[in-house]
Amino acid sequence: MTLDLPLLAGFMGIGGTELIVILVIVLLLFGGAKLPALARGLGQSIKEFKKAQVMDEDDDDDEDGNDRKKKTGSPKLASTSKKAPSDN
């Protein structure tokens, strides 16, 4: 998926000059050093969001195909805690 800036600018009614002004304001607010970190964080967020969408679609496919989860339920874990011997 590529970002087509002329299409985006035409869709939102933003011209080239307005886009440049917005970019300058963002640069002034966040500074040049923080922009790569912000872009990296945004990229990771998008990546995680897409991964979650794929996992959600896989879960929907599993629910439609078979009902194993409904039949088995969640297994209960055995308690492993033991009482300490009393010092009476």
Tens of pLDDT, residue by residue over 38-87, are 889 999 999 999 999 988 887 777 666 555 555 555 555 555 556 666 66
CB 19 within 8 A of CB 5: yes
The domain ranges of the chain are 5-64
Tens of pLDDT, residue by residue over 8-45, are 556 667 788 888 898 889 888 888 888 888 889 999 99
Q: How far apart are CA 62 and CA 56, in angstroms?
A: 10
The maximal CA–CA distance of the chain, rounded, in angstroms, is 84
